[in-house]
Amino acid sequence: MAENKGQTDSIRMGMQGCRTNNGFVQNEDILEKDPDPGSGLDGAVAPLDPAEPDLKDVRPYAGMPKEVLFHFSGQARYRVPREVLFWLTVASVFVLIGATIAIIAISPKCLDWWQEGPMYQIYPRSFKDSDMDGNGDLKGIQEKLDYITTLSVKTIWITSFYKSPLKDFRHGVEDFRDIDPIFGTMKDFENLVAAIHDKGLKLIIDFIPNHTSDKHAWFQLSRTRTGKYTDYYIWHDCTHENGITTPPNNWLSVYGNSSWHFDEVRKQCYFHQFLREQPDLNFHNPDVQEEIKEIIQFWLTKGVDGFSFDAVKFLLEAEHLRDEAQVDKTQTPATVTHYWELHHDFTTTQVGMHDIVRSFRQTMDQYSREPGRYRFMGTEAYGESTDRTMMYYGLPFIQEADFPFNDYLSKLNTPSGNSVSEVITSWMENMPEGKWPNWMIGGPDRARLTSRLGAEYVNIMNLLVFTLPGTPITYYGEEIGMTNILATNLNESYDTDTLLSKSPMQWDNSSNAGFTEANHTWLPTSSDSHTVNVDVQKTQPRSALKFYQELSLLHAHELLLSRGWFCLLSNNSHSVVYTRELDGIDTVFLVVLNFGEASLLHLKEMVSNLPTRARIRLSTNLANKGSEVDMHAISLDKGEGLVLEYNTEQLFHHQTAFRGRCFVSNRACYSSVFNILHSLC
């Protein structure tokens, strides 16, 4: 005990008698005091006075001990600035948090990749041949990606390339998980996807879930009643005697005649809405729905950014199999063989069909969770009325397609101001609030724009779709004004009328228009390919291609076109006039399109509150770009279009007279002070 006590006293004495310097030299002004000679310690360290040290004459110095630091930090001249800075920091943090929350709250939804720029639709067999067999292929598309980027498009849309027999343009698929050898291999596809993404582009592909080829493994198993595949297709008993089939009802194929065909193996009739080689899948069967889901997942895993789902209105048929009503009730039933001679109340747009389409959306949403990887979904429902088409957008809280493809402009065979404005307003008035429109002027199953309307309307129609709100969609070759081929003897088993718009892409004026180095092409090239081709037009300052590129750049860089209001000011049999405007921007684009003969447009008289002069921002006649026009009398040639620009604070969508003629998809306003978009309009 005595020994321990001695050690403790020794440690205590050492702690009291030592001061730590921490490596700093103390202030030389502090003089060390000699120990009191009478203390009796005789050179030993004196114990510290438990009282506070006298720091009256001490100034702050580097390495000061905490007792000295606390002494000075408590003084008002140090404490007050420190507390002020602390509370300013706290307040700044709260202000920044509040500002961030406010900006997020008032910011409109950002445009997604499928809204930001045009889509470019490619029919792969006709775009570019890389292996000299006369057929376009996936490697050919990859070779031409640099050209596609010059068009400022955001999305490439490739039509069907699945393994399939030569029936109905490959819409009767033999294997949904394989590439047809004509187009290449799965490795070619994977390389193409990677190359497209490297260019900053997105890829969507066609998918036809309604039917398969009769060569598909599912059908072969179904016709032999093998396991779960027995009911993968729509089978029904029917009478077949002496080579004549009596079908279960009067339902007709899109291509005419009965939609039922007798199968010699199963001894029943199967249902086909299209060719007899394309039996319809039975979507009342949950196993079929699961198969389609897995196919969607397969291609999403391959890196595909979205789908165009074709023929979705045919997915379900009524199970009661009642006859459909005749359009002409006086017609003899036996003579009703054409599709349009029946009302298709039991074979299209059935109850439950939209639930199936929404299930496609749900599957794709599972692959859209990664930031920047939203998967697009479009639906093709051509032939539907406008109100039925709008149903594919979904419900307010249940999303379906991002948009149904809008082909109404591609049906115009005689352009006029009234017909064009009717197509525009019909879509915009019926489109659900907050949804996104789209516009296309051509496609694989439509006559080409030049052949339908004339070469003088190529630029004006491209100008139209690029200055309307929404996503413009371009069918390959429309940017250079390709025409239908004039072929009478085509060595293909297709409908000739729909082949004419699928001729090979015209790249240059060499043999076969630069499409292939082979001696033949699957379809002949157009007779005008020596003058209407990419190489020629990219060197001509006033060509259709140059105008398309200018137009696409304008669309990409102008908020007025991507976000602005659309206000239809005037239309008649010859012309259409509308504005694109945005709150917060005092510049307005006034688009004037003349579909009639050359005329003088008295625009100021038609709309009194327009300015007297405006500058031409873009014209179908590129020579006029940058000049000014008098709004009292604008001279327009046939097929001429202008994008005029002027400044004003009186926007049309705020004016009562035009409110019923103004539309916007996603309301937004621009703040020039903060250079941001906001929704407090």
pLDDT confidence bin for 3, thresholds 50/70/90? very low
Q: Is the pLDDT of residue 492 over 80?
A: no
The per-residue pLDDT for range 170-183, each reduced to its tens digit, is: 578 999 999 999 99
pLDDT above 80 (res 471):
yes
Query: What percent of the chain has pLDDT above 90?
Result: 77
SS3 readout for 284-349? CCHHHHHHHHHHHHHHHHCCCCEEEECCHHHCCCCCCCCCCCECCCCCCHHHCCCHHHECCCCCCC
User: Do residues 481 and 385 both lie within one domain?
Assistant: yes
pLDDT of 636 higher than 50: yes
Q: Are residues 394 and 335 both part of a single domain?
A: no
Choosing from 84, 106, 128, the residue where a domain stops is: 106
- 64 within domain boundaries: no
Pair 74, 145 in one domain: no
Same domain, yes or no, for 388 and 426?
yes
Radius of gyration of the chain, Cα coordinates, nearest whole angstrom? 37
Q: How far apart are CA 350 and CA 640, in angstroms?
A: 44
pLDDT over 60 at 30, yes or no: no
Q: Are residues 257 and 370 in the same domain?
A: no
Confidence of residue 162 (pLDDT cuts 50, 70, 90): very high
Q: Lowest-confidence range among 125-129, 186-190, 492-496?
A: 492-496
- Same domain assignment for residues 403 and 517: yes
Residue 143 within any structural domain of the chain: yes
Task: Point out which residues pair with 618 in neighbouring strands.
Answer: 643
Distance CA 456, CA 227 (A): 60
Q: Which domain holds residue 481?
A: 119-209+296-305+352-556
Q: In the predicted model, what is the mean pLDDT of residues 123-127?
A: 96
Is there a single domain that holds both residue 143 and residue 268? no
Distance of CA 161 to the CA centre of its chain: 21
User: In total, how many domains does the chain have?
Assistant: 4
Structural contact between residues 280 and 273, judged by C-beta atoms closer than 8 angstroms: yes
* pLDDT computed for residue 495 by the predictor: 63
pLDDT band at 169 (very low <50, low <70, confident <90, very high): low
* Distance (Å, whole) CA 285 – CA 291: 10
Strands 398-399 and 162-163: unpaired
- Write down the pLDDT at residue 17: 42
428 occurs within a structural domain: yes
Same domain, 234 and 341: yes
Same domain for 499 and 620 = no
Mean pLDDT, rounded, for 649-667: 93
Q: Judge whether residue 14 has pLDDT over 70.
A: no
- In this prediction, residue 48 carries a pLDDT of 44
**Summary mean pLDDT of the chain:** 89
In a domain, 65, yes or no: no
Identify the band that residue 480 occupies on the pLDDT scale cut at 50, 70 and 90.
very high
What is the pLDDT averaged over residues 477-499?
A: 77
370 inside domain: yes
Least confident of 97-111, 242-256, 261-275, 346-360: 97-111
pLDDT confidence of residue 6: 46
Q: What is the pLDDT of residues 299-358, one digit of tens each?
A: 999 999 999 999 999 999 999 999 999 999 999 999 999 999 999 999 999 999 999 999
pLDDT in tens, 201-240: 999 999 999 999 999 999 999 999 999 999 999 999 999 9
**Residue 558: is its pLDDT beyond 70?**
yes
Q: Residue 389 is part of a domain; what is its CATH number?
A: 3.20.20.80
Chain position carrying tokens 């005649």: 257
Domain final position from 531, 556, 581: 556
- Whether residue 382 is contained in a domain is answered as yes
CATH value at residue 585 = 2.60.40.1180
- Same domain? 263 vs 344: yes
Q: Is 518 found in the same domain as 373?
A: yes
Measured between alpha carbons, how far is 490 from 339 in angstroms, rounded to an integer?
Answer: 25
Residue 231 lies in a domain: yes
Among residues 302, 124, 114, the alpha carbon closest in space to that of 201 is found at 114
Among 106, 130, 159, identify where a domain stops. 106
Q: Which two three-digit tokens encode residue 117?
A: 């720029």
Mapped onto helix, strand or coil, the DSSP state of residue 408 is helix
105-131 mean pLDDT: 94
Asked, for residue 63, whether it belongs to a domain, the answer is no
Helix (H/G/I), strand (E/B), else coil: 451? helix
The DSSP call for residue 26 is: P
pLDDT digits (tens, 9 = 90+) for 378-413: 999 888 889 999 999 999 889 999 999 999 999 999
Please count the residues of the chain.
Answer: 681
Tokens of 303: 């890196």
Please tell me whether residues 584 and 482 are part of one structural domain: no
